[in-house]
Amino acid sequence: MNFQTKIDILDNLSKLDILIFSTVLFITIFSVLYSETLKKKKASEESEEESFLDLLVMGRTLTLPMFVATLVATWYGGIFGVTEIAFNEGIYNFITQGLFWYIAYIIFAIFITHKIVPYKAVTLPDLVGKMFGQKSAKLSAVFNLFNVLPIAYTISLGLFLTLIFGGSLLINMIIGVTFVILYSMWGGLRSVVFSDLIQFSVMCISVLLVLVLSISTFGGLEFLKTNLPDTHFTFTGKNTILETLAWGFIALSTLVDPNFYQRCFAAKSEKVAKKGIFISTSIWFLFDICTTFGAMYARAVIPEAESSQAYLTYAIQLLPAGLKGLFLAGILATILSTLDSYLFIAGTNVAYDLVPKKLKGRKVIHHFGVIFVGFLSIALAVVFDGNIKTVWKTLGSYSASCLLLPVIFGYIFPRKIRDNQFIAICLTGVIFTTIWKIIDREGIWANIDELYVGIMATSFATAISLFYDAKRLKN
């Protein structure tokens, strides 16, 4: 097969491919409309408060299959980011974007799910407020807003549309996000979950097809070892151990990720949430195997291709007619399933956590939040110059270094940190992380990531708070 480094994707699609792609898109839209008919059947029997609870957490009725489908689908919107890392650095991607995260998921399932259920919270800031106080809830809501900004997934959708239809990245981001905003506002978490059921199935089949056909066409590991640099088979790739481990701390930000909490709050029971996370982790493991090695095959076959586009370019040339359309639908599903979830959570963040109490719980405010965050994400995608890895690294560093430690401490030692102390600890992390990020550093200091500085700052601030309390009680 004669693979090219750059292709016109539309020219490579048959009528069958376009039919299959359109069918998957139609079924996804139909699932959203169907979820809304289910909601209308219940609406007449609900109070306004129950209706808003249904909008945010499906009335806490999320079953195990739905929990797994929506959680898995929500996590892979940055597929162009992970395949770019795998294309450039091999199994380093599996370690930093896979293994570290599995550890975080298992920690969440074993040590956190049973701690959050008794609070009967609706959002992560709501939970923080019940643990520490209302000032802490407002501050965590601000953190939450930046944490759920779907910048990377806005970029991914823009890249996808640009590769298919051409045009500028900015225009395609605006078109794509506008479409997602419209259906994200339609029926709340229920619509997101029902669309995720379709998207989950298609995205898993798509990446599996690429790996299976790659192995059958070119051979197994021997082919990759012959055609790839040795660094593609090392845990750290071309990076230092400290740079690699920084991703481990970023992965721990899952422990304060609002999407994880939202699904757990919506689950029918603690058992559903815990079991669902374990099942999801096994699926994520298989998915990461497929995307990592699929992108490594792309590097081996078309090494001169643009790294952010190489996986898609390679797959379209590898797959036969019909499967190309399914694959493209799978890539789109991967992006949309994450983007719609983050937009929905962002709207929830505004409508439930940030607005004044008299406006809290109004659906129109939720819709405004979705629209505001959608277009803010487009603006910030331009600021980050379309670099998905930089987006993940920047936002993940703040979440892991500033919010993670005090929240985890609150789980282990309830009521030991008070409202004002929580704020002081988080802001200390923000200040030191930002300073370290913007100052010029030389020598050994140049290799110290701002994430480590933020973690040390929050740890120090926590220790001072506890020492002050102990001294005050002693006196």
User: Within a domain: residue 237?
Assistant: yes
User: Within a domain: residue 429?
Assistant: no
User: What is the model's pLDDT at position 348?
Assistant: 81
The 3-state secondary structure of the chain reads: CCCCCCCCCHHHCCHHHHHHHHHHHHHHHHHHHHHHHHHHHHHCCCCHHHHHHHHHHHHHCECHHHHHHHHHHHCCCCHHHHHHHHHHHCCHHHHHHHHHHHHHHHHHHHHHHHHHHHHCCCCHHHHHHHHCCHHHHHHHHHHHHHHCCCHHHHHHHHHHHHHHHCCCHHHHHHHHHHHHHHHHHHHCHHHHHHHHHHHHHHHHHHHHHHHHHHHHHHCCHHHHHHHCCHHHHCCCCCCCHHHHHHHHHHHHHHHHCHHHHHHHHHECCHHHHHHHHHHHHHHHHHHHHHHHHHHHHHHHHCCCCCCCCHHHHHHHHHCCCCHHHHHHHHHHHHHHHHHHHHHHHHHHHHHHHHCCHHHCCCHHHHHHHHHHHHHHHHHHHHHCCCCHHHHHHHHHHHHHHHHHHHHHHHHHCCCCCCHHHHHHHHHHHHHHHHHHHHCCCCHHHHHCCHHHHHHHHHHHHHHHHHHHHHHHHHC
- Whether the predicted model's global pTM rises above the 0.85 cut: no
* Structure confidence by residue, pLDDT tens digits, 285-329: 999 999 999 999 999 999 999 998 899 999 999 999 989 999 999
User: What is the model's pLDDT at position 188?
Assistant: 67
User: Within a domain: residue 418?
Assistant: no
Helix (DSSP H) and strand (DSSP E) numbers for the chain: 23, 0
User: Within a domain: residue 110?
Assistant: yes
- Helix 151-165 to helix 323-348 angle (10° resolution) is 150
The C-alpha atoms of residue 374 and residue 323 are separated, in whole angstroms, by: 31
User: What is the model's pLDDT at position 53?
Assistant: 62
User: Within a domain: residue 4?
Assistant: no
Name residues whose C-beta falls within 8 Å of residue 180's C-beta, 6 or more positions apart in sequence: 157, 336, 339, 340, 343, 374
Domain of 155: which CATH number? 1.20.1730.10
Structural domain boundaries enclosing 78 = 10-386
The C-alpha atoms of residue 57 and residue 123 are separated, in whole angstroms, by: 9
Task: Compute CA distances 135 → 59, 271, 321, 369, 422, whole Å.
Answer: 27, 32, 57, 21, 9
* Structure confidence by residue, pLDDT tens digits, 359-376: 776 778 878 888 888 888
Residue 118: name the closest of 281, 264, 20 by CA.
264
User: What is the model's pLDDT at position 226?
Assistant: 95
Count of domains in the chain? Answer: 1
The C-alpha atoms of residue 162 and residue 121 are separated, in whole angstroms, by: 40
User: Within a domain: residue 282?
Assistant: yes
Residues in the chain where the model's pLDDT stays below 70 = 1, 36, 38-57, 59, 77, 185-188, 361, 386, 388-389, 392, 472-475
The C-alpha atoms of residue 445 and residue 70 are separated, in whole angstroms, by: 41
User: Within a domain: residue 464?
Assistant: no
User: Within a domain: residue 353?
Assistant: yes
